[in-house]
Structures are given as C-alpha cells and as structure tokens.
C-alpha cells in the first residue's frame, strides 16, 4: 500500500520512512505543504500522513482543501500540540485521526493500520484466498500451511492482489499503489515481479491463483 508523508522535520520524516519501508509500505515524501498537496492531488494514495506545521502551507489548510476537492483518502495528522481545541478544529477540517509528537513507531503503526483497516469491509489482518494466507501484522505468507519467503516488493504486490481478490487489477493500479512516484511506467518491471511471485505462490500447485487477463491486467482468485 502506498502512503504519502508530508513532514518538514527531516529527522521525523526519515524515522517514519524507514519504519514504513520495513513494514513493506511504499512511501512518497514531501517536505513542504505545497509539494505535499500537489502529490496528494495527482496520486491515489491509500493514506496520507500530514504534519500540522509545515512551510508554505499548513496541514489544516491542506486537509480542508483536499476534502473540498472530494479527496477521501484517510488522513493521519501529526501535531506537536495537544490541546482539545486543536483536536476539534482538526476533525472539522476532515482529518481521520491524530498523533501527538513525540510518539513511538509502534504507536504510529497501530494508527496507520487502524485507518487502513477502516477502509475495508473485512477488518481482519489475515488475508485469505483459497489455501493462500497473508498475515499483515507478521508479514507471514503461507500456501497450504507452508511458509513462503517473499522480498519486500513481492510482498507488497501480493498484499495488493489479496486486498483486491476476485477483482481485475490493472497494470496502472499496480504502478500507482505498489511502486513509487518516480517509476518509469514503460518498463517491464511488473511482468518481472509477477513472474517472481508466480514462481513462489503458484509453482508446484495444481490450482493457480494468479491469472493474466490479456490486455486488461491480472486477477487473483481461486479457480479459472
């Protein structure tokens, strides 16, 4: 899943980036409000982490403007202040949750996961398709109860497929949610990773789960 981080404090930004990457999220970063809002408007993020005090444009204004433009991406606001008044103002501006600095990464991650789960009908962290299982908390992947070791990118790709099981997933969707802003979309990198994933997930199993839909994309499902 792809997260936009808008935070001007370099130390906090790299602490969050590092932690999220370890959890297999794709992270785009902006260090001022204008750049952050621009990225939020042109890319379909799964979550936006937004600092309140930012150069060029503050977090509250960005949040209000995104909501006015019908952007419904969940927003986790980071704030140094912790007064009741700020919380009320923030919720009116359309943020979904708050975190007051300083915070531990575990605390931050728990909020991120809760917001991402809220978007889904199925609220569990254990994703299942046929005998394939992916645990979003431990990052364990199993097929027929046998552990499968995936690289970070393979994991992110499989997680995206499993969150969209039985739905057509286009190459554009994969680029937008599993790869970074600066990626060259004309390369064959997706095909390469689908091949890696098939080797690990489907190879040796009679029932194939990843199917190619010629000219349309891919679908993860049990059966043809």
Binding site for Ca ion (CB under 5 A): 8, 51, 53
CB of 8 to Ca ion, least distance (A): 5
Nearer to Ca ion, 53 or 89 (CB): 53
47 CB-near residues (< 8 Å, 6+ apart):
1, 3, 4, 73, 74, 75, 76, 112, 115, 116
CB of 78 to Ca ion, least distance (A): 8
CB of 157 to Ca ion, least distance (A): 33
CA distances from 89 to 128, 144, 180 (A): 40, 50, 32
Dist CA 146 CA 158 (whole Å): 16
CB of 9 to Ca ion, least distance (A): 5
Nearer to Ca ion, 8 or 133 (CB): 8
Nearer to Ca ion, 77 or 190 (CB): 77
Dist CA 222 CA 69 (whole Å): 38
Residue of this chain nearest to Ca ion (CB atom) = 53
Nearer to Ca ion, 51 or 154 (CB): 51
Beta bridge pairs of residue 100: 79
């Amino acid at each position: 899943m792809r997260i936009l981080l808008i935070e001007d404090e370099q130390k906090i930004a790299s602490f969050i980036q590092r932690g999220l990457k370890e959890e297999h999220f794709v992270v785009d970063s902006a260090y001022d409000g204008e750049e952050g809002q621009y990225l939020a408007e042109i890319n379909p993020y799964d979550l936006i982490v937004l600092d309140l005090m930012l150069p060029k444009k503050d977090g509250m204004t960005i949040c209000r403007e995104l909501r006015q433009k019908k952007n419904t991406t969940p927003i986790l606001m980071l704030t140094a202040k912790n007064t009741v008044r700020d919380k009320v103002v923030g919720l009116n501006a359309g943020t979904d949750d708050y975190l007051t600095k300083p915070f531990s990464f575990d605390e931050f991650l728990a909020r991120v996961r809760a917001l991402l789960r809220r978007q889904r009908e199925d609220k569990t962290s254990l994703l299942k398709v046929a005998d394939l299982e992916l645990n979003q908390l431990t990052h364990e992947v199993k097929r027929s109860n046998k552990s499968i070791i995936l690289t970070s990118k393979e994991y992110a790709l499989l997680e995206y497929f499993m969150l969209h099981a039985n739905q057509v997933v286009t190459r554009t969707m994969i680029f937008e949610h599993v790869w970074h802003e600066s990626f060259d979309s004309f390369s064959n990198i997706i095909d390469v990773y689908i091949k890696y994933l098939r080797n690990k997930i489907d190879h040796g199993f009679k029932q194939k789960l990843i199917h190619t839909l010629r000219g349309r994309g891919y679908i993860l499902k049990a059966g043809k």
